[in-house]
């Protein structure tokens, strides 16, 4: 019987999942549950894009919407996938804390230690753990593996892992963890197999999606990243603010009388591209908009990318290659062009034609720094890590 691996990515407003065949890791089906808060909707397609399941229901409450959505998925799986064919489930877990740096087989103790990290990632980690619990309720004997967004960054030198706070705060876990690690791991592995001379050099990967960050990679290892303690730091994102003077938060609470919950909502949901433009958090809409506020938000996005590009270059002691990935990085020649133009002082010479015609290398031959567009595939990375972890048990 063909063994399969289910990959689950439970985010703050959606659940994405894929079923892979476990040998060659071909995708057998893919699905998504979206609009969890307002109009939940599940869609599952096979590898040819044929819709296998399409359903929607009424939301109930913020506390239960994720769980209800996940039950729809589990019911469908129960009716359509033979349990014996499932080798394992691989989960994206956003936080592994200071200790967990490898894909980890989940047992009761691991689950307890992941629960202890909820205060570090209150908007994301509880949903990841809910998915693990629901699967173990329905499939008590099925092995589950946690793949962490923080893991790829765990080798950061201490200087890049620290804030300027008294030492005891570091011991207490207040560190620059870094996220998007599954994506960075995937890109780094792809470079190793396609362009090993680049993989061994000094590389910045720009993961520019709804969430966005840069990662400085030296000889295949992350040494710094713009995201730090939470998913708010670094670049402005679809709805998140990016780097912000902590004094602003104190001011909002003390002078504007905002509660902690209100500040959290402001920084995570109403800031970034959406907040600055007042138009949208979707880069496509901003690029197509005539509203000057949309142009200003795009300017700020590009400005911050380039400022942080210089910071990551300093961490690396120079730069050999820049990689664009994720929704915006892969699909927007406009944003790539703006970044490359502003970063030309670094020695970047990008090729206008290559940038628009779908080439993977978009720099000119005389560019000091080669520039690439590499699609990320976090689901495939999770499937790979899950299968490797399960095989290592035998």
Binding site for ligand ADP (CB under 6 A): 209-211, 238, 282-284, 287, 326-328, 331-332
For ligand ADP, the closer CB: 85 or 289: 289
Catalytic residue check, 149: yes
Tell me the residue number closest to ligand ADP, measured at CB. Answer: 327
DSSP labels for 159-208?
Answer: HHH--SS-HHHHHTT-S-----HHHHHHHHHHHHHH-HHHHTSEEEEEEE
Please, are residues 323 and 187 in contact by the beta-carbon 8 Å criterion?
yes
**152-191 b/e with 16+ CB inside 10 Å = b?**
bbbebeeebbbeeeeeeebeeebbbbbbbbbbbbbbbebb
For ligand ADP, the closer CB: 123 or 253: 123
Instruction: Report how far residue 337's alpha carbon sits from residue 172's, in angstroms, rounded to the nearest whole number.
Output: 42
For ligand ADP, the closer CB: 16 or 342: 16
Strands 104-105 and 86-93: unpaired
Q: At closest approach, how far in Å is the CB of 316 from ligand ADP?
A: 24
- Angle between helix axes 292-316 and 333-342 (nearest 10 degrees) is 60
Dig out the tokens for 7 from the structure. Answer: 């990959």
Q: At closest approach, how far in Å is the CB of 95 from ligand ADP?
A: 17
Q: At closest approach, how far in Å is the CB of 181 from ligand ADP?
A: 14
For ligand ADP, the closer CB: 12 or 200: 12
CA atoms within 13 A on the CB side of 389: 23
Q: At closest approach, how far in Å is the CB of 334 from ligand ADP?
A: 7
- Active-site hit among 149, 161, 185, 233: 149
For ligand ADP, the closer CB: 114 or 326: 326
Please, are residues 248 and 241 in contact by the beta-carbon 8 Å criterion?
no
Q: At closest approach, how far in Å is the CB of 285 from ligand ADP?
A: 7
Dig out the tokens for 367 from the structure. Answer: 């560019």
Instruction: List residues with catalytic annotation.
Output: 149
């Amino acid at each position: 019987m063909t063994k399969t691996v289910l990959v689950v990515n439970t985010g703050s407003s959606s659940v994405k999942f894929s079923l892979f065949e476990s040998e060659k890791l071909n995708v057998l089906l893919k699905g998504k549950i979206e609009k969890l808060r307002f109009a939940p909707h599940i869609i599952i397609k096979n590898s040819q894009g044929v819709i296998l399941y399409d359903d929607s229901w009424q939301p109930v409450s913020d506390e239960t919407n994720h769980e209800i959505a996940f039950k729809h998925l589990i019911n469908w799986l129960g009716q359509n996938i033979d349990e014996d064919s499932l080798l394992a489930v691989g989960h994206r877990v956003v936080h592994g804390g200071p200790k967990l740096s490898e894909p980890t087989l989940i047992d009761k103790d691991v689950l307890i230690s992941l629960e202890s990290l909820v205060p570090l990632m209150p908007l994301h980690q509880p949903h990841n753990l809910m998915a693990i619990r629901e699967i173990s309720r329905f499939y008590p004997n099925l092995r589950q593996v946690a793949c962490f967004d923080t893991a790829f960054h765990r080798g950061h030198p201490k200087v890049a892992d620290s804030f300027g706070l008294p030492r005891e705060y570091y011991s207490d876990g207040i560190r620059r963890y870094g996220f998007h690690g599954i994506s960075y791991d995937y890109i780094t592995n792809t470079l190793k197999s396609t362009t090993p001379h680049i993989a061994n050099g000094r590389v910045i990967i720009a993961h520019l999606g709804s969430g966005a960050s840069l990662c400085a990679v030296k000889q295949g290892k992350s040494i710094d990243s713009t995201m730090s303690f939470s998913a708010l730091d670094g670049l402005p994102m679809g709805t998140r603010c990016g780097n912000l003077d902590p004094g602003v938060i104190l001011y909002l609470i003390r002078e504007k009388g905002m509660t902690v919950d209100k500040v959290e909502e402001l920084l995570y949901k109403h800031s970034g591209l959406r907040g600055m433009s007042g138009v949208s958090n979707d880069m496509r809409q901003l690029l197509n908009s005539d509203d000057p506020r949309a142009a200003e938000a795009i300017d700020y996005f590009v400005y911050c990318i380039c400022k942080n590009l210089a910071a990551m270059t300093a961490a690396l002691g120079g730069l050999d290659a820049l990689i664009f990935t994720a929704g915006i990085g892969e699909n927007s020649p406009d944003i790539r062009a703006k970044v490359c133009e502003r970063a030309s002082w670094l020695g970047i010479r990008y090729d206008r034609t290559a940038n628009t015609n779908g080439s993977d290398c978009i720099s000119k031959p005389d560019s000091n720094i080669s520039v690439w567009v590499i699609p990320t595939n976090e689901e495939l990375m999770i499937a790979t890590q899950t299968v490797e972890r399960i095989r290592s048990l035998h």
